[in-house]
């Protein structure tokens, strides 16, 4: 090979080597500049960036809470140990008889159901308790506590016993005006023909057994075969088909919306 060609190739190799060295040095310099820039980032700016991210998370959390679906059907109003009637709650009532009253919007179905029971030969079922004012509920609640205390229970023990069958004032479905207690407060009611009829037919008139035995852990109320709640025909039938109590059904509907 001629000396001139060798010299040209050698010059090309040197230039390539210089280019590689330059690129390595450039990469190292840029890396140090970025590290320094990150290190020199003002603390207040870092705090702002962190707080900004936290604000975004908090904002999203608030939006999720605001957008949580609610059930606005008055027939499904949930009243229990966690859901208290508002102080400004108002209700329109219609008389069942001289003493008892029920929500005016649902009393038609209640009367139809009672009439059909009689036509079917069930003549020994009557409404023992229906609407009860918060003041009346308070009186009943306190009177039962005194009864237990007279038996030697402490006030706390007495209240716990009363809560097994009577809700605190403002948390009872009787305050809502959509619940009825049939006959006496007697667990043997579920052995009667009237109870059997209600289990088979009450859903057709919008009523459900509110406190079922298998739902005590959810409702926080002992089994009450005498206590029935109006929820509307379509809801009653669906609740029975799904095997849900009102607490479960309300949550179910929220997830569907």
In tens, the pLDDT along 68-85 reads: 567 889 999 999 989 998
Cα dihedral 238/240/241/247 (nearest 10)? 70
- The better pLDDT of the pair 233, 222 is held by 233
Q: Which residues are catalytic?
A: 224
Tracing tokens 């926080």 back to the chain, one arrives at 220
User: Is residue 57 scored above 70 in pLDDT?
Assistant: no
Q: What is the pLDDT of residue 64?
A: 47
Q: What is the pLDDT of residue 3?
A: 53
Of 32-36, 107-111, 221-225, 242-246, the poorest mean pLDDT is in: 32-36
User: Is residue 190 scored above 80 in pLDDT?
Assistant: yes
Cβ(91)–Cβ(131) under 8 Å?
yes
pLDDT digits over 110-160, tens only?
Answer: 999 999 999 999 999 999 999 999 898 889 899 999 999 999 999 999 998
What pLDDT band is residue 183 in, cutting at 50, 70 and 90? very high
Q: What is the pLDDT of residue 91?
A: 93
């Amino acid at each position: 090979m001629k000396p001139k060609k060798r010299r040209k190739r050698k010059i090309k190799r040197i230039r390539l080597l210089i280019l590689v060295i330059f690129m390595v040095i450039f990469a190292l310099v840029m890396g140090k500049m970025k590290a320094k820039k990150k290190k020199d980032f003002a603390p207040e700016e870092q705090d702002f960036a962190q707080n900004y991210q936290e604000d975004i998370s908090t904002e999203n959390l608030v939006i999720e809470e605001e957008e949580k679906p609610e059930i606005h059907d008055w027939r499904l109003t949930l009243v229990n140990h966690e859901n208290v009637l508002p102080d400004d709650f108002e209700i329109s009532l219609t008389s069942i008889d001289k003493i008892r009253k029920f929500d005016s919007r649902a009393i038609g179905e209640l009367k139809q159901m009672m009439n059909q029971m009689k036509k079917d030969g069930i003549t020994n079922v009557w409404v023992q308790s229906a609407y009860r004012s918060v003041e009346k509920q308070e009186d009943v609640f306190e009177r039962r506590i005194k009864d237990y205390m007279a038996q030697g229970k402490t006030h706390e023990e007495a209240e716990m016993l009363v809560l097994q069958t009577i809700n605190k004032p403002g948390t009872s479905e009787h305050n809502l005006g959509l619940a009825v207690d049939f006959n006496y407060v007697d667990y043997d009611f579920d052995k009667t023909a009237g109870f059997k009829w209600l289990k088979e037919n009450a859903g057709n008139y919008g009523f459900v057994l509110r406190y079922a035995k298998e739902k005590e852990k959810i409702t926080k109320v002992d089994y009450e075969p005498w206590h029935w709640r109006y929820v509307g025909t379509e809801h009653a039938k669906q609740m029975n088909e799904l095997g849900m109590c009102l607490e479960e059904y309300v949550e179910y509907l929220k997830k569907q919306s």
